[in-house]
Structure 1
Amino acid sequence: MTEKAGVGGRAGGRSLKIRVKTARKRSLSSTIWLQRQLNDPYVAQARREGFRSRAAFKLAEIDDKYRLLRRGQRLVDLGAAPGGWSQVAATRIGADKGQGGIVAIDLLDMEPVPGVAFTQMDFLDEDAPDRVRAMLDGQADGVISDMAANATGHRKTDHIKIVALVELAVSFAVEVLKPGGFFLAKVLQGGTEGTLLAGLKRDFAVVRHIKPQASRQDSAELYVLATGFRGTASGASAEEVAEADAS
């Protein structure tokens, strides 16, 4: 995870960029996307290190700074497929060695990740929180989400869609988190406003916005990190909340 300096370049020389010609059946936008993927150093690094997506480096970078993931924790990974975040989290909490546990949820199927219990379902299902707590054998220490609503290309519409998705993820998180837990989710710049931020500030002690270096700099992608869950939704006592905030 430390191989960031000089990633994608040549020692003592310039990096070589791959140019993609527009094929007869490929649109210009698809050609641009493919060229960006082929020249993305994090995509190349993910392949070398066996990660399923470049998104793995975003979680690793956030955790390096904020120390969210600890041995023996119980986590929920929303919208987990293809599994890059689950891979990083499993290694850092020791789930791949039998410590703690992760429940990964997605509407799409996902190849197994060591130490991760995957369930193909909609986290919006009424019984989803109960099922997740049963799989974890208790409340979660953290809920992580790299989900994104399908983009329309219209900035304002995309903001509305992703904020709505994150609000739903927050509602799920407060049902499964233990006092002191954390919530980490992808949003868009300018998109975490109004009721979303108000709700997070009500339910968590600290709310931050983060732009990892692994996020493409030309992207509006941003992450919201809420720590110190107050536990009000789960009926925690004032003493439990105070103890969790102090830990």
Structure 2
Amino acid sequence: MIEDDPKPERRRMVRPPSGGTAAGRGLGTQIKTADKKSMSSQQWIKRQLADPWSERARAEGWRSRAAFKFLEIDDRFNLVKKGSRVIDLGAAPGGWVQVCVNRGAGAVVGVDLLPIEPIRGAELVQADFTDPGVDDQLIELLGGAPDLVLSDMAHNTVGHRQTDHLKIIALIEIAAAFAIRTLKPGGAFVTKNFQGGDAGGVLADLRANFEEVKYVKPNASRKGSSEVYLVALNRL
């Protein structure tokens, strides 16, 4: 396992995805130029347009369908409390940040490799979270230790299953280590994972530092997706 390496190489997020913008990953632009895009890009656009969660997100003013994933998680666990401080890792295009602001968080800071269109009530940073000093910058912008750390970070897949798996686990480890180090007692942590992914080392760390750790598969996750979320409650 990666965590057993006595001198692990510093793990970095991959380069920003090519194309797209913070506002819906460039959906508006891609629709207009779909005839110039690859077949896979055109299929992605068609899937987005046909997806009821994406349609609902557009109708309700959410940046992305991912907002509904976090809305469901927050409804279940009551994570965003009035006045709470929240850090969102991998925040673009900003759906989770919107939810936190709308639900009464006192301070919200989001970071992503991609630019994020401004959201009133939030501080948004375009940076590589794994770069030295970025984590401290987020805490400074937040004004103190967070009550909630969120991570919907993802990586560019390379098509090699083992390599992609290691990158997934590396991002979870990075986010979990940050949450464990910075959260207030009683705080919570949410991170993306994938079914079948070997996150045993991360789970052990979370269970040692939180009262409860739950797996959640939101209804807004695509049916064919192996995506799940780890929810760690009540930082010890």
TM range (shorter): 0.7 to 0.9
Shift of 1:32: 3.0
Query: What is the aligned counterpart of 2:143 among 137, 148, 152?
Result: 137
Change (3 A) 1:228 1:62: same
- Runs of 5+ unmatched residues, structure 1: 1-22, 231-247
Q: Does 1:180 align with 2:186?
A: yes
Aligned with residue 109 of structure 1, among 110, 115, 121: 115
The answer to whether the 8 A contact 1:81-1:110 is kept is: yes
For residues 52-67 of structure 1, the aligned pairs below 5 Å read 52-67=63-78
Give unmatched runs, 5+ long, in structure 2. 1-33
SS at match of 1:61: helix
Residue 30 of structure 1: CA displacement? 3.1
The structure, 1 or 2, with the larger RCO (C-alpha pairs under 8 Å, 6+ apart) is 2
| 1:24 shift after superposition | 7.5
Q: Distance in 1 between matches of 2:35 and 2:147?
A: 50
Q: 3-state DSSP class of the match of 2:186?
A: strand
Q: Deviations over 1:85-128 (max 9, x none)?
A: 10111101x24xxxx10011112211111110112222223323
Shift of 1:139: 0.7
Correspondence list, 1:189-228, <5 A = 189-228=195-234
> 1:81 matched to which residue of 2?
92
CA distance in 2: counterparts of 1:26 and 1:104, whole angstroms: 30
Q: State the shift of 1:26 in Å.
A: 4.8
Which structure has the larger Rg over C-alpha atoms? 1
Aligned residue in 2 for 1:237:
none
* Alignment RMSD: 1.9
CA distance in 2 between counterparts of 1:131 and 1:27 reads 38
Corresponding residue pairs, total:
204
- Compare 193-202 and 126-135 and name the one that shifted more: 126-135
Q: Shift of residue 208 of structure 1?
A: 0.9
Q: Match of 2:5?
A: none
> Which secondary structure state, in structure 2, belongs to the residue aligned with residue 180 of structure 1?
coil
What one-letter code is carried by the residue in structure 1 that aligns with 2:165?
H
1:233 corresponding residue in structure 2: none
* SS in structure 2 of the partner of residue 179 of structure 1: coil
